[in-house]
Amino acid sequence: MDPLCPQETGNNEVQFMHLDLASLCSVRAFASTFLRQEAQLHILINNAGVSAGGTTEDGFSLAFQVNHLGHFLLTQLLLERLRSCAPSRVVIVASSAHCAGRLRPESLGRPPSGLFSTFQDYCDSKLANVLHARELATREQGTQVTCYAVHPGFVNTSLFRHAPLWLKPLLLPLAWLLFLDASEGAQVVLDCATQDGLEPLSGRYFTDCGPRLPWPAGRDDRLARALWEGSERLVGLGAAGGHQEGHQEGHREGLAAPTAQ
């Protein structure tokens, strides 16, 4: 673990640690190293994302593993430290693309079929992000660990670097002209990580306009539970990982008016 250049960060305390979310082995190695070297953990931001086809060394679709499964495993491996350092927060960067997600518990992690399979895989992973936050918040009730899913807006990052060559001439000018820059996109993420008084809204979906209802699939507590249990199975965790008794269904409905995110 080496310090980043202070000239780049303006902070001598920032540290870099290698983590490859496309490798569950790398996630476990990172968590082991972090827990051994760092006694405190108050904020975990699951931010990495890709929109690309292919499969990982673990046999899962690339986007679903990087965007969801890797983050799910990382969060579970660090959960006891988050609890011991509570109050603490988990922020999961989702997307309005969850509106097109179609998660099927019996086929989690398999690349979707069809002409737009890469786009569908990305949308599925973003729906998984929303449901992960929802279920984690339910299971962590009473621990002072809270969780939030965030749509940061449309941000000009390298997310589209794997887009088909024919599509890039359309996407890149659009991104430069209309999308937020990275610092602007980070604001709502930082708000969910640091703003006082958000604890009662644990499990909610946020945009730059505040808490919003996600699309219907993102409010499906049965699907959230099935995703959690399926994710545990896929990454090799037992049912005890982060689970608490007293799961409640339909516990957050009607808290805000729906919006077309």
Active site residue 122: yes
- Tell me the pTM: 0.81
Contact 130, 124 (CB under 8 A): no
Which domains does the chain carry? 15-235 (3.40.50.720)
Q: Which of 49, 42, 254, 43 is nearest to 151 (CA)?
A: 49
The helix-helix angle for 70-84 and 24-37 (nearest 10°) equals 20
List pLDDT tens digits, range 87-144: 999 999 998 889 889 999 999 999 888 777 888 998 999 999 999 999 999 999 999 9
What is the C-alpha radius of gyration for the chain, rounded to an integer number of angstroms? 18
Contacts of 235 by beta carbon, 8 Å cutoff, 6+ apart: 24, 69, 72, 73, 76
CB atoms within 10 A of CB 254: 7
SS3 state at 126 = helix
CA distance 261 to 254: 16
Q: Is the peptide bond before 87 cis (omega within 30 degrees of 0)?
A: yes
List pLDDT tens digits, range 152-187: 855 546 555 555 554 555 555 555 554 556 666 677
List pLDDT tens digits, range 53-84: 889 999 999 999 999 999 999 999 999 999 99
Give the bridge partners for 80, in sequence order.
none
Q: Which of 212, 173, 175, 222 is nearest to 192 (CA)?
A: 212
Sign of torsion over alpha carbons 126, 132, 134, 137: negative
pLDDT at 240: 44
pLDDT at 169: 53
Size (the chain), residues: 261
> DSSP assignment, residue 61?
B
Tell me which of 30, 64, 72, 122 is the catalytic residue: 122
